[in-house]
Structure formats: structure tokens, C-alpha cells
């Protein structure tokens, strides 16, 4: 998009609500309490025939120090600097507050184009607040209601000249495309090469304060996401599109996921739901562990969730720069990984330092390797030759004295690899035998770590006469008809 609009204003004036309306989807978390949004979120907006990029920002705070609010303000000011225009949102029901006057002065200095909008302006209760907006000296306020969609025509009239001017200049800037709109119409097609139009989708997940945002910033090479020592800073699943070592990827930075019993706050529940959605539609999930306390119970649950969703999984241990005896620690980590997550046996385990950037090359290689295995397809002929060898080595059980027969095997899908085996009495086949075949597939076809779906279907005797009734010969029917019992 050639034109970029940043929505700014105090906390809880309706910025995220307006953002969702402009992009046409509920991408940003919305709640009544102030300060829900903390990171910058970009999306492709549509307003009539106008097409532009819109940025949802954190609420402007008066803090200027290195506190969380101060860092949020710096990130918002950065969005103001990179945008072509700013939409300054005022709560019409609350009126113009002293903080609004301070921020109006800041916008007047930092942005060439500022559009003043009075939100929550439905009804007569907001008339006084709309009139107060004129005192800010930013021109006539646009009266809108982001929640109800009122005033969008007036907003269109204010934006149209700026968008048309930007298109006329034909600015060719390679701005990163960032949103959380995940492609949810993926079909099970086979391997594909990631492209800019359809990049490889990676979700970075883990417990709070594991360093997820810092890791994504290290991959980007800039402080794009809000970070800090506080746990639980990230709330939205923010995604960024970039070329990671010549590979087009969309990386999702997700909120930290705590134990379900500890999640009481409504906003945190929304954040976890957003993170779960990112896992569901990602292709590769990077489970980031805190190197100071790896493989906690919650880490195992998150990794197991990614496996059950059928995603390719890479386990990354962060804060490796703080370790002293690294060889012994790495050996212990691999042993713990094999013991705690047998369903992901063979999945890549890499050590990284998001703070220093070390290990990012290994992480990229592990992600691409896991993605390749996730897309692997095996021919039916190879599978059936392999199945014959497995049956000879370890035949299926014989419940009730009748041995279960496995007649035929084929791969029906990829991403993750899915196989179907035609069998007699599949319901009597024990789970241990299914694990035997799954482990054999991993080892013999080099598919470590990736989820494997193995299904058994019933296939009885193919004798075509089994279900047909025997017919009495016509001559015998005539003879029976003439007997003493006939007709």
C-alpha cells in the first residue's frame, strides 16, 4: 500500500475498534479496560474505493522514561514518524482532556497531515465533546462511531485527497506487510516453495518472558516489537512478513501462555485465544523455552498442543548466552526432550540467544528442515514394500485366534503426513502396534519430529459372491412345484 494511516490517541478511545472496522476483520483485541493494545499492528484497510495501510497503535501515555508506558509511547511515536498521515482519535463523550492537548501539540510537530476524529459520537450526549475538539486547532473534527459504523462517509471525504495524492506520487517503498490475517484455506497439496505472496508461516510460542518478542526483533534486525523485563508484555498475535535468509516468511509473535488455572483476566484470555489461533494456522511452530528453566510442565503442554494441531515443531532454547557449562547442559536437554516429548522424537532442538543474535542461522535451518519433512510424500509402492517388511519382522496380533491382516497402505495427505492402512478388524488392533508402525515410518523414511497421522480402515474379504443369495435352478423349481407340497 502506498498510503499509510496511523490511528493514535489516548487509551480506550476506540482505536482498535476503528482498526477492525477499517480492515473488515476482528484482528485487534478489543476490551473496555484501557491499555489493551501495546504493539503496532498493521492491516490492509478498505474504505469505499480507497485502499491503504492502517496502523493500530498503543494509547499515548504521558510517561517518557524507560517504563512500560514510556516504551509504548516511543513505539507509537515511531509509528507516527513512518506514517503518511495520522488519525487523532478523541473520546467525544469524555471531551478534550489535558492529555489530548499535549498529544495534539506533539502530532502538530511530528506529522504533516493530522485528521482529527471525535469517536463515540453517536447521540446528543457527545455534542459538547465534539465542540471542544475545535479548540485543539487541528481543523474540523470528523464525527464518527467506530463501534456502530457511523460517520464513515465523512472519514472517507477527509482521507480521499491524501490517498489520491500518495498514489499520484507513486511512492515505491518496501514497507513490511504486517497483520494477523492467517491464510485459513490451505489445502493438502504437497511441497511448495514459500513466496512473497504466500510466505512460510511461523508461530513463536512459549511461556511468558521466554524472549519471544526479543527473538522476533533479532530476526528482523530492528526493535519492531515491544520488549522488556516484565512478563506478559505481548498481548496480540503480531505478525511480520520479511525475507529471512532469502526465505519469505510471516513470523507471528504470540502472547505468553500460562497455566489455564492462572489465567483469570479477560484480556489475557483473549490473548491466549489469539495465540492458539496463530498455532492452528501456522505451518511451523517454534516452541521457545527459557534456558534457565526449560521443559516446565507448561512448555510440554504447548509443544503437545502444536503436535496435536499437526504443525511442524522446532524447539528452541533461549538465553543460551547465560549458560556456562553448555555441553553438559545441551546433553541434559536432549535427554529430557526425548523423555518428556516422545511424540516429537527427533524434532529439531536448537540453542539461541535472542539478546545477542547467536544461533539464528541454526534456527533458520531447523525451521526449513522441519518444514520439508512436514511436506514429505512417499510413493504407494515404497510404502507397501516397507509394510511387508514390517509385517514380516513383527506380525500383527491374532485376537480370538484370527490374525489381523494389513493388506494395503497409501499416503492420503501431507502437512502433516497422513497414511491409511486397509486392515481386517482394525478396531481390534492395539495402540502399541500403531506406535510401532509410526516409529518405523519416522526412522525408515527420515521423518523425525513431524506429526504423523496413521489411520486403519476396515477391508473385508473381496469375494464378490459372499453377500449374494444362492438361486434355485429353474428346473428344480418346476419339479418342486409339481410335488405333493407344490402349488
Give 237's contacts (C-beta < 8 A, 6+ positions apart).
180, 203, 252, 253, 254, 255, 274, 275, 277, 278
As a whole number of angstroms, the distance between CA 271 and CA 32 comes to 15
Q: Tell me if 297 is assigned to a ligand binding site.
A: no
DSSP letter at 174 equals -
Q: Is 140 annotated as a binding residue?
A: no
The answer on whether 321 is annotated among ligand-binding residues is yes
Q: Supply 215's cell numbers.
A: 527473538
* Contacts of 306 by beta carbon, 8 Å cutoff, 6+ apart: 205, 279, 285, 287, 313
* Cβ count near 447 (within 10 Å): 20
C-alpha cell at 175: 514497507
Residue 234 labeled ligand binder? no
Task: Say whether 58 counts as a known binding-site residue.
Answer: yes
340 marked ligand binding residue: no
Residues in CB range of 40: below 8 A, 6 or more apart: 55, 56, 57, 58, 75, 76, 78, 79, 178, 224, 238
Is 14 annotated as belonging to a binding site? Answer: yes
Q: Is residue 13 part of an annotated ligand binding site? A: yes
Ligand-binding annotation for 211, yes or no, is yes
Question: Is position 255 annotated in a ligand binding site?
Answer: yes
257 labelled ligand-binding = yes
Is 374 annotated in some ligand binding site?
no
* 15 labelled ligand-binding: yes
119 assigned to a ligand binding site: yes
Which residues, 6 or more positions from 342, have their beta carbon under 8 angstroms from its beta carbon?
Answer: none
Check: CB of residue 42 under 8 Å from CB of residue 250: no
**Is 11 annotated in some ligand binding site?**
yes
Q: Please check if 313 is assigned to a binding site.
A: no
Is 122 annotated in some ligand binding site? yes
Q: Residues of 153-176 as b/e, b for ≥16 C-beta within 10 angstroms?
A: eebeebbeebbeebeeeeeeeeee
- Say if residue 60 carries a ligand binding annotation: yes
> What would the grid cell of residue 260 be?
489455564
All three cell numbers of 444, joined, read 525408515
Residue 57 known to bind ligand: yes
- The closest alpha carbon to 253, from 218, 273, 278, 270, belongs to 278
236 among the known binding-site residues? no
Q: According to the annotation, is 439 in a ligand binding site?
A: no
319: annotated binding-site residue?
yes
Could you give the C-alpha distances from 308 to 162, 201, 358, 372, 457, in angstroms and in order?
48, 18, 30, 19, 21
224 annotated among ligand-binding-site residues = no
The answer to whether 379 is annotated as binding is no
From CA 72, how far away is CA 21, in angstroms rounded? 23
Is 209 a known ligand-binding residue?
A: yes
Which residues make up each annotated binding site? Answer: 9-16, 56-60, 119-122, 206-213, 253-257, 318-321
Binding positions for GTP:
9-16, 56-60, 119-122, 206-213, 253-257, 318-321
Amino acid at each position: 500500500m502506498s498510503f499509510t494511516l496511523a490511528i493514535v490517541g489516548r487509551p480506550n478511545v476506540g482505536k482498535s475498534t476503528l482498526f477492525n472496522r477499517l480492515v473488515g476483520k476482528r484482528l485487534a483485541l478489543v476490551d473496555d479496560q484501557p491499555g489493551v493494545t501495546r504493539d503496532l499492528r498493521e492491516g490492509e484497510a478498505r474504505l469505499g474505493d480507497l485502499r491503504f495501510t492502517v496502523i493500530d497503535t498503543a494509547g499515548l501515555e504521558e510517561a517518557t522514561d524507560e517504563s512500560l508506558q514510556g516504551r509504548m509511547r516511543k513505539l507509537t511515536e515511531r509509528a507516527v514518524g513512518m506514517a503518511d498521515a495520522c488519525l487523532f482519535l478523541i473520546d467525544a463523550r469524555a471531551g478534550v482532556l489535558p492529555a489530548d492537548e499535549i498529544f495534539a501539540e506533539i502530532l502538530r510537530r511530528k506529522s504533516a497531515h493530522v485528521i482529527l476524529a471525535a469517536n463515540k459520537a453517536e447521540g446528543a450526549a457527545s455534542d459538547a465533546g465534539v465542540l471542544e475538539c475545535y479548540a485543539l486547532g487541528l481543523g474540523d473534527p470528523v464525527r464518527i462511531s467506530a463501534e456502530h459504523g457511523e460517520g464513515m462517509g465523512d472519514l472517507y471525504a477527509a482521507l480521499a485527497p491524501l490517498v489520491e495524492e500518495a498514489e499520484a506520487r507513486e511512492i515505491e517503498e518496501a514497507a513490511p506487510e504486517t497483520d494477523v490475517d492467517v491464510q485459513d484455506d490451505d489445502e493438502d497439496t504437497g511441497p511448495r516453495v514459500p513466496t512473497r505472496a504466500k510466505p512460510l508461516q511461523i508461530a513463536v510460542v512459549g511461556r511468558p518472558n521466554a524472549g519471544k518478542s526479543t527473538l522476533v526483533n533479532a530476526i528482523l534486525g530492528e526493535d519492531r516489537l515491544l520488549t522488556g523485563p516484565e512478563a506478559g508484555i505481548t498481548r496480540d498475535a503480531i505478525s511480520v512478513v520479511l525475507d529471512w535468509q532469502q526465505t519469505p516468511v510471516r513470523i507471528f509473535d504470540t502472547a505468553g501462555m500460562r497455566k489455564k488455572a492462572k489465567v483469570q483476566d479477560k484480556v489475557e484470555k483473549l490473548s491466549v485465544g489469539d495465540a492458539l489461533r496463530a498455532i492452528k494456522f501456522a505451518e511451523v511452530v517454534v516452541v521457545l523455552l527459557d534456558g534457565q528453566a526449560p521443559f516446565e510442565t507448561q512448555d510440554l503442554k504447548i509443544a503437545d498442543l502444536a503436535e496435536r494441531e499437526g504443525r511442524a515443531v522446532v524447539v528452541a532454547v533461549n538465553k543460551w548466552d547465560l549458560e556456562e557449562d553448555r555441553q553438559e547442559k545441551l546433553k541434559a536437554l536432549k535427554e529430557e526432550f526425548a523423555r518428556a516429548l516422545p511424540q516429537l522424537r527427533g524434532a529439531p532442538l536448537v540453542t539461541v540467544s535472542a539478546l545477542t543474535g547467536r544461533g539464528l542461522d541454526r534456527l533458520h535451518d531447523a525451521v526449513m528442515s522441519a518444514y520439508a519433512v512436514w511436506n514429505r510424500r512417499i510413493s504407494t509402492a515404497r510404502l507397501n514394500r516397507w509394510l511387508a517388511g514390517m509385517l514380516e519382522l513383527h506380525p500383527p496380533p491374532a485376537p480370538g485366534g484370527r490374525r489381523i491382516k494389513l493388506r494395503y497402505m497409501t499416503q492420503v495427505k501431507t502437512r502433516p503426513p497422513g497414511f491409511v492402512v486397509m486392515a481386517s478388524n482394525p478396531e481390534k488392533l492395539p495402540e502399541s502396534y500403531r506406535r510401532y508402525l509410526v516409529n518405523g515410518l519416522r526412522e525408515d523414511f527420515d521423518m523425525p519430529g513431524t506429526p504423523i497421522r496413521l489411520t486403519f480402515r476396515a477391508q473385508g474379504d473381496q469375494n464378490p459372491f459372499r453377500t449374494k443369495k444362492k438361486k434355485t435352478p429353474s428346473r428344480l423349481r418346476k419339479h418342486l412345484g409339481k410335488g405333493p407340497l407344490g402349488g
